[in-house]
Chain A
Amino acid sequence: MEDQPLKEQRIKAAVEAIGDRFLAEISVFRGETRLTLAAERLVEAAQALRDEFDFDFLTSLTASDYWPQLEPRFHVVYQLYSNAHHIRLCLRVPVNDRDPVVPTVEKIWRVANWHEREVFDMFGIRFEGHSDLRRILMPYDWEGHPLRKDYPLGYEEPQFSFNYSDIQIRKNRGRYEEA
């Protein structure tokens, strides 16, 4: 096990090199180092992180929706881990609402294949260059992207006394249409 100062030096070296080269914003929160960078620079930064700094594991790829804020609306979050040096790093890529496209890192870490499919399925963020971008958890012909914040939760509304008549009309509508 490496002791703390050496680990921090390694993270510092990796993060500063990447930060300078790819204009990434560096921040540390609760002991986790994170780099926020633009989508265009993602693939080169990821390649550099894997080849030069031994971040050989992509442990998690997910996204987060900040609707109703539209610029950026999403953040795609990558968690990287280096098996050789036991350090973790987080990459965040902001994505806009109008054209949510991010280049794929599937060629760099094969594990990203299904993760990116899941992000596409749940958020609608397209991954450019992905070999097999289709829905994974929802049925193949589903419309809409469930984990977006403007997608309804989809449960049945409880019929309380204040909305009794509104819901009763909806319930009766089907019945009268049958007759």
Chain B
Amino acid sequence: MSTQTEVSLDELRHLISDRALTGETVLLNMGPQHPSTHGVLRLLLELDGETVINCIPDIGFLHTGIEKNMEAKTYLKAEVMTDRMDYMNTVGNNLVYCLAIEKLAELDVPPRAQSIRVILAELKRISSHLVWLGTHALDMSAMSTFLYCFREREMILDILEMCSGQRMMTTYIRPGGLWRDTPAEFEGAVRQFLKIFPERIDQYEALLTKNPIFLDRTKKIGVISREEAVQWGLTGPTGRGSGVAYDVRKVSPYSGYEQYEFDVPVLHGGDVYARYLVRMEEMRQSLRIVQQALDKLPYGPVRSDNRKYVPPPRSELSQSMEAVIHHFKLWTEGFSLPKGAVYVPVESPRGELGCYLESDGGPKPQRAHFRTPSFVHLQALPLLAKGHLVADLVAIIGSIDIVLGDADR
């Protein structure tokens, strides 16, 4: 074992205890290809028997250089790349990028567009939590939950497809509003979903919440205290399970969230079970928001009139020379944002998703950085996993709900 020369641990030497070098503990590679790591995540585990002494996450397997690529494209073309980062929360990624553009350009968004943005963002939040629930339960061998969750998720994907033509990577939210107005079937479909979903959540809870096997596997596992959660920057349901009462929708409301009444569940257990309960309750609260937004949905345009940023509708092109010029400039060179930098945070199902957008006055971003919650939460994984068994590690990774596209970009 010690005479192998292909693999060198030099760059990780300072993170591993001395017991590993004498062979007392085992270094196990929970490699990038693994069904339970929720993506291409490599974990180097130092194990004493079955107990994890240390866990070193190695990310970057899904790094596709999105931020660098965005600097080479115009703002609208770069928006397409934002969908692909956190592929479970594509609407939220589009939203944060468009909010950053709108803040920098001081662009107005009509109220109907804001309400529909909220509806779609909350539906995507529910869809992301359904995937989380299905895969988390699946990792702990509760296999039927997975199929039930995906059945409901299909309804949400159908709604997104009817709006934008795409199930996941919609790019439906554009700077200034939405790409186009929702079709006539939209409201009916969303109401149908709102009608059936509450009892479905009850069904998932009936399967898991009081299940003794589930409780055994999730209670007192992966505990993190509130102070440590703040130090390690845990936000979203991961932080709220530990008592960090921070929800961007309440603190820095965007897109009209201040008009909706909803609660933000905060628990203090700090373990996997607390995070599970927080997310289940969040799904119910998201339904409340969608209900209110749908009831109050105003009529009106769905995109801003500011022709410097929003292309004119094609019907105007035959009548107005200015429309032709704006159309030409916007689709060839793209719009230019004023010089400056903004940071806009948004609540993604994982935590605080922030977009730092800096413009140098040209049509391409000078710097577009996304503060992604999965990247930040993976940092805390060694802290959460110390002293637990390998099987618990699987539960912990599931509970912090990482998406590797989000972590690596």
For A150, list chain B residues within 8 Å (CB). Answer: none
Counting chain B CB atoms within 10 Å of each CB, the highest count among A111, A113, A122 belongs to: A111
Q: Is A136 in contact with B59, judged by CB distance below 8 angstroms?
A: yes
- Look across to chain B and name the residue whose beta carbon is closest to the beta carbon of A111: B233
- Look across to chain B and name the residue whose beta carbon is closest to the beta carbon of A154: B65
Q: Is A59 in contact with B371, judged by CB distance below 8 angstroms?
A: yes
For A137, list chain B residues within 8 Å (CB). Answer: 59-60, 63, 408-409
Q: Is B244 in contact with A30, judged by CB distance below 8 angstroms?
A: no
Please measure, in the bound complex, the distance between the C-alpha atom of A136 and the C-alpha atom of B60, giving whole angstroms: 6
A interface residues, tally (CB under 8 Å): 42
Q: Is B345 in contact with A59, judged by CB distance below 8 angstroms?
A: yes
A159 within 8 A of B: no
Please measure, in the bound complex, the distance between the C-alpha atom of A58 and the C-alpha atom of B352, giving whole angstroms: 12
- Within the complex, which residue of B231, B340, B356, B358 is in contact with A79, where a contact is CB–CB below 8 Å? B356
Asked if A140 meets B230 with Cβ closer than 8 Å, knowing A59-B345, A65-B367, A90-B343, the reply is no
A153 within 8 A of B: yes
Q: Is B103 in contact with A138, judged by CB distance below 8 angstroms?
A: no
Please measure, in the bound complex, the distance between the C-alpha atom of A111 and the C-alpha atom of B246, giving whole angstroms: 16
A110 within 8 A of B: yes
A22 within 8 A of B: no
Q: Is A32 in contact with B343, judged by CB distance below 8 angstroms?
A: yes
- Within the complex, which residue of A64, A132, A151 is in contact with B15, where a contact is CB–CB below 8 Å? A132
- Pick out which of these stretches binds chain A: B44-52, B66-74, B87-95, B144-152: B66-74
B251 within 8 A of A: yes
A32 to chain B, nearest CB (A): 6
Produce 1/0 per residue, B234-258, CB < 8 A to A: 0100000000111000111000000
Please measure, in the bound complex, the distance between the C-alpha atom of A140 and the C-alpha atom of B11, giving whole angstroms: 8
A62 within 8 A of B: yes
Q: Is A60 in contact with B343, judged by CB distance below 8 angstroms?
A: yes
Produce 1/0 per residue, B339-380, CB < 8 A to A: 011110100000010101010000000110101000110110
Please measure, in the bound complex, the distance between the C-alpha atom of A153 and the C-alpha atom of B343, giving whole angstroms: 25
For A138, list chain B residues within 8 Å (CB). Answer: 60, 63
Q: Is B371 in contact with A113, judged by CB distance below 8 angstroms?
A: no
B14 within 8 A of A: yes
For A118, list chain B residues within 8 Å (CB). Answer: 375
B186 within 8 A of A: no
Produce 1/0 per residue, A1-15, CB < 8 A to B: 100000000000000
Interface residue tally on B, bucketed by range:
35 or more
Produce 1/0 per residue, B378-395, CB < 8 A to A: 110000000000000000
CB within 8 Å of A: which of B389-408? 408
Asked if A57 meets B343 with Cβ closer than 8 Å, knowing A114-B379, A137-B63, the reply is no
- Within the complex, which residue of A30, A62, A79, A146 is in contact with B106, where a contact is CB–CB below 8 Å? A30
B40 to chain A, nearest CB (A): 12
- Look across to chain B and name the residue whose beta carbon is closest to the beta carbon of A121: B60
Q: Is B342 in contact with A30, judged by CB distance below 8 angstroms?
A: yes
Interface of B is mostly: mixed
A86 within 8 A of B: yes
For B379, list chain A residues within 8 Å (CB). Answer: 110-111, 113-114
A-B contact count (CB 8 A): 101
- Within the complex, which residue of B106, B340, B375 is in contact with A114, where a contact is CB–CB below 8 Å? B375
- Look across to chain A and name the residue whose beta carbon is closest to the beta carbon of B253: A1
Produce 1/0 per residue, B11-40, CB < 8 A to A: 100110000000000000000000000000
Please measure, in the bound complex, the distance between the C-alpha atom of A118 and the C-alpha atom of B408, giving whole angstroms: 10
- Within the complex, which residue of A57, A109, A115, A153 is in contact with B72, where a contact is CB–CB below 8 Å? A153
- Look across to chain B and name the residue whose beta carbon is closest to the beta carbon of A83: B246
For A86, list chain B residues within 8 Å (CB). Answer: 251-252
For A88, list chain B residues within 8 Å (CB). Answer: 252, 343
For B244, list chain A residues within 8 Å (CB). Answer: 83
For A109, list chain B residues within 8 Å (CB). Answer: 231, 233
Please measure, in the bound complex, the distance between the C-alpha atom of A117 and the C-alpha atom of B101, giving whole angstroms: 27
Please measure, in the bound complex, the distance between the C-alpha atom of A149 and the C-alpha atom of B358, giving whole angstroms: 14
- Look across to chain B and name the residue whose beta carbon is closest to the beta carbon of A138: B60
Asked if A59 meets B106 with Cβ closer than 8 Å, knowing A64-B367, A65-B367, A114-B375, the reply is no
- Within the complex, which residue of A29, A114, A132 is in contact with B341, where a contact is CB–CB below 8 Å? A29
Please measure, in the bound complex, the distance between the C-alpha atom of A62 and the C-alpha atom of B408, giving whole angstroms: 14
B248 to chain A, nearest CB (A): 10
For B375, list chain A residues within 8 Å (CB). Answer: 114, 118
Please measure, in the bound complex, the distance between the C-alpha atom of A86 and the C-alpha atom of B376, giving whole angstroms: 20
Q: Is B230 in contact with A56, judged by CB distance below 8 angstroms?
A: yes
CB within 8 Å of B: which of A116-140? 118, 122, 131-132, 134-140
Please measure, in the bound complex, the distance between the C-alpha atom of A57 and the C-alpha atom of B14, giving whole angstroms: 27
Please measure, in the bound complex, the distance between the C-alpha atom of A151 and the C-alpha atom of B68, giving whole angstroms: 10
Please measure, in the bound complex, the distance between the C-alpha atom of A29 and the C-alpha atom of B252, giving whole angstroms: 17
- Look across to chain A and name the residue whose beta carbon is closest to the beta carbon of B103: A30
Please measure, in the bound complex, the distance between the C-alpha atom of A56 and the C-alpha atom of B375, giving whole angstroms: 19
Q: Is A62 in contact with B369, judged by CB distance below 8 angstroms?
A: yes
Please measure, in the bound complex, the distance between the C-alpha atom of A29 and the C-alpha atom of B341, giving whole angstroms: 8
Please measure, in the bound complex, the distance between the C-alpha atom of A132 and the C-alpha atom of B246, giving whole angstroms: 29
A43 within 8 A of B: no
Q: Is B356 in contact with A60, judged by CB distance below 8 angstroms?
A: yes
In the complex, besides A56-B230, A113-B379, 4 extra interface pairs with C-beta distance below 8 angstroms are A56-B231, A62-B356, A64-B366, A153-B69
**6 A–B contacts, CB within 8 A, in A order:** A29-B341, A59-B235, A60-B356, A60-B371, A79-B356, A122-B67
